[in-house]
Structures are given as C-alpha cells and as structure tokens.
Chain A
Amino acid sequence: MSDQGRWLYAVADRGAAEDHAWLTGVAGVAGGEVRAVRSAGLTALVSDVDLGEFGAEALRRNLEDLRWLEEVAWAHHHVIEAASRHVSLLPIRLATVYGGDASVTAALVERQREFTCALAQIRDRVEWGVKAYAAPANPVPAARASSASGTGSGSGTGMAYLKRRRDELAANQDAQRDTTAGARAVYAELAGHAAGARLHPPQSPQLRGSKAPMLLNAAYLVRRCDATSFAAAVASAANAHPELRLELTGPWPPYSFAGGDAW
C-alpha cells in the first residue's frame, strides 16, 4: 500500500461527466489534481492525498485544527462547486478517504443503486439557502411598549413602573411569537416553490456580528432554471413578513439533499 490515498469529492453520472475537460486546472485538497474514477455507470471525482496528512490518525488531529479545516473545507467545496456547474452531482461528506482507485471503484459498484437514485432526485436542481432573522429595526415592540407606558406614566409610581415593565415584556413576547410564527410560515411558503425542503439547526448568534438570533435556517432544492422565480418568491415572502429579515444564499451544489432520505 502506497502512502497516497484518494480523497472523494462527489459522485456523478458516468455519461454526464464523460467529457471532463472542465476538470483540468481545478486544484483539490492540498493542491491535488482532480480526476475521474469511473465504474458502474458512475463517476467519482477524486484527488490524491498524502496519508501522512490525511490518514486516520492525522485526520483526527487535523480536523480539530480550525485553520487546517478551513483550508480543506474551501478546497473540497471549490471542487464540488466547479464540477456542479457542468454536471449534476452528489456532494460527498468532507474527509471521505480511500486507499486507492480500486476501493473507490468498489464503493461505486457496491452502492450503485443508492447513488443512481439520489442522482435522479437532484438532477438539474440546485440548493438555495434561506435564513430568517428578526428584522433589526422591528418597530412593533417599541411602539406597543411606548403606547402602553403612556397610560400610566403620569403617576410615576412604582406600580406604574411595574405595569410598564410588564407591558414591555408582554410586547417583546408577542413580537417574538410573531417572528417565530413568521419564520415557520416562510419555511412552508417557500417549500411550495421547491422540489425539496430541509430545516437545519439555526446557526449560533454567539460571536456573530449582529445579535439577531437566526429564526430559520432552511435549504431548498430548486430546478436550476427556476432560480429567478424562487428568488422572487423569497422577495415576496420578505414583503409579506416585515417582521423578518430574509437572506438568500446560493445556488449551492445540493449538499443538503445528497442523502436522499426524508423527502
């Protein structure tokens, strides 16, 4: 066994990836040259990696190194992204490493059915990410709170303060309920414009530039040619929900839909 392993990026149809001129010049993880390994009517995109850095022990250590991880993650994504402009493909989870071409071939043969089914689901479709936050300058709580405080502010007593405080809290709770319900509604509305929808855990507001908590972190599988109409749907959802700020990212290779389950 050599000290070179095969890093797996994606699996595509053999036919779709037959002409892989677009692969030339695409640098993979650790600068490796990306190439195709074909079997069972499928194509695997791989590059050689040094097992000294990408073997089991080293990987375990390196994956905990955020700087190393960042570099590898970008390289992995870059290859998948570049290839996905040309073919429909299944992105493979980071750090899937084989000992040689023969084991890659064996994996294609062994899981041919699964790959073929999953490829059929994502063919000519891309992933769009939609995140929702509470709109930063949400005027609702402030307006409610000030109108409430207006009624009791004349007395200036402790009771008035408590009432004002209680109203403020209630207004905040109402606003929070509104935005959460809004985010749920947006998720469902947009799902109507997509072939698949996935809910991801919201990303942490900790250390984030904005303090606004993420209320929705969703991924949608959309036909490649429907990009404009999906963006329009997001824009109209944003108009219908002024309490939210929506963010659209993409198109992404269909990372969230490569697993194929839970449609």
Chain B
Amino acid sequence: MTSGNIIQPGGGTARAYGGGQAASGHAPANLGDILERVLDKGLVIAGDIQINLLDIELLTVKLRLVIASLDTAREVGINWWENDPWLSADAGRRASDRDLRAENRRLENKIRELESGQPGHDGGGRVPARRTRRAADDE
C-alpha cells in the first residue's frame, strides 16, 4: 500500500460507497471477479491446444450465473446449475421431455374440444377453435 487511498495492483481489495454514506471498509475481491476476467476478458489467441469454444462458452455462461457466489455455493453444497435446463444437457433433455408431454396434452385437449364442440363444421383447424372459446367466454 503506497497510501491509504491507493491499492496495489491486482484487485485485491474492493471499496464500497453506499447510498450517501462515506466510504466504508475494504472487502477482498471475490473469486467471481477473477473468474469473470480470466475466462471472459483477456486477449483471445489460438493456442496449439484447441479447446472447443462451445465448451468454453457453456462454462462461461454457467459461471456468469454462478459467479457472484461460487464460494457460498460450495459452502452450502449447492449445485443447482446441474438442474438448470439452460446449463446442463441432461436437465435440458428432461425439461424438453416435460415440455413435449405438456404440449401433447394441450394438443390432445384441443382436438377433443374441436371434435366435440364443433360437430358438422367443415375444415376444423384453428379458427373454429377460437370461435368455440369466444362463445364459451360470452356465456
């Protein structure tokens, strides 16, 4: 430390200025800040060892979400990202299975609605479906 106000390079400390209060104490820079920088910033050049960029991006996205509190997450043993469909391929599959089943149910219901609600109407399709619903709303 060269003086009270100047901090040595490296982002080892953080200062907080809060809602009109005077500058408060120092806190250690968090791991998230480090990961954000070393993974997401910095000059990108192609090395001899090629890493699949998609993998890296997935990791980065994952970290962007985890980043603020990796320490906390680890302390409490949370691995919620493993169940996040956006982050985990397995969870993604499970989620899309669920979505598909829900979509199927919706479509089956719609067909039933069409078949029962509009007998004798030719064509079928969406327009009669909407009419059915509107008619139901009017009642």
Contacts and interface: CB of A to CB of B under 8 A. Distances in A.
B18 interface: yes
Question: Looking at chain B's contact residues, is the secondary structure mostly helix, strand, loop, or mixed?
Answer: mixed
Interface stretch (A16-24, A149-157, A163-171, A234-242): A234-242
Contacts of B59: 63-64, 69
Contacts of B70: 66, 70
A129 B41 CA distance: 13
A47 interface: no
B37 A256 contact: yes
A146 interface: no
Looking at chain B, what size class is its interface with the partner chain?
35 or more
Given A97-B49, A207-B78, A247 B17 contact: yes
Contacts, number: 204
A204 B64 contact: yes
Nearest to B8: A85
Interface in B47-95: 47-52, 55-56, 59, 64-70, 72-74, 78, 80
B43 interface: yes
Interface of B: 5-11, 13-20, 23, 29, 31-52, 55-56, 59, 64-70, 72-74, 78, 80
Interface of A: 5, 8, 11, 51, 54-56, 59-60, 63-64, 66, 69-70, 73-74, 76-77, 81-82, 84-85, 90-99, 103, 107, 111, 118, 126, 129, 135-138, 200-201, 203-209, 214, 219, 227-228, 231, 234-235, 237-239, 242-253, 255-256, 258-260
